Structure 1
Amino acid sequence: MENYYSVNEVADMLDVTTRSIRNYIKSGKLIGLKIGGKWYFSTDNILDFIAGHQLVFFMDKNDSAINKSPYTLRFNLYFEHVSSIQTFKDNILDYHQDVYANDQDRLFYYQIYKEKHAELLLSGSFDYVINFGKWINHLLQQQTDIYEVTYTDD
């Protein structure tokens, strides 16, 4: 049987308030089960919310712009806690927006694939991929619960 999490547990996982969780439910961003007047969420519900909540900025990895770019770099990541991958992603996104946001030929893609696995994909010029990739790698080395992994689609 799949584990289900309460509003309080999901709020702790995502490092947000229970009020935020209730707002996500009301807006339809977070889907769950209401049993006896209380909300419960499966792991899939939580991962779907995370992916939907943060993919607004990113492009589809099958986008022809990515496939036509001269260089692509992929990071396959394993994470222990949802809050840590959220913070990691936010740091990368902030840096990308500060340094690369006005450049049209530079693409950054992020997705949570399966439970505790995420993918970062950089695509564009050699300098962009190498420099931004080095910056991400340096940030990754400072993490205690996010790791690069060899991951294959099953």
Structure 2
Amino acid sequence: MNDFYSVDSFAQTLDMHPRTVRRYIRNGQLKATKVGGEWRIRKEDAEMFMGGNAKELHENAIEDVQSYIDGFHGQVTGKFQVCTVLDCYVNDKDEAFEISKIVMQHMNEDQDHGPAKSQYYYDKDAKKGRYILWGNPSFIGRVLSSVGEFGKQ
């Protein structure tokens, strides 16, 4: 089941509302299959969708980072806040996607990350995955350490 996203986890990956993801599915813009009454999105279909929307995701990410710099913190709150841009130059989109799974694992499993969010897109021309992370310093540090360990493999 690791090769599939639920609507909620895919929406979180893209920093979208799950209803938006369901609308993309209904409109045929995103391929998905019903499993046990719930939509599941194959890894390959998710990558194709994200690749096709890379420009829009990139523009949204730039706006979010600029908003953070300008002092609007949005969903991320707390005494200490971090916004970081992580560029990972990779061999192909599969490697970039593996790194995004590391980020999402932390987003889904870390119990003490507090308010946090992330965005990811793959730039096929530059052969890089760009990951933008917002959260408290210890959470962002754990994510970056995990990605660093992946890079040593």
Normalised by the shorter chain, which TM-score bucket? 0.3 to 0.5
Structure whose residues are more often helix by fraction: 2
- Please identify the structure whose Cα radius of gyration is greater: 1
TM-score of the aligned structures, taking structure 2 as reference length: 0.47
TM-score, length of structure 1 as denominator length: 0.47
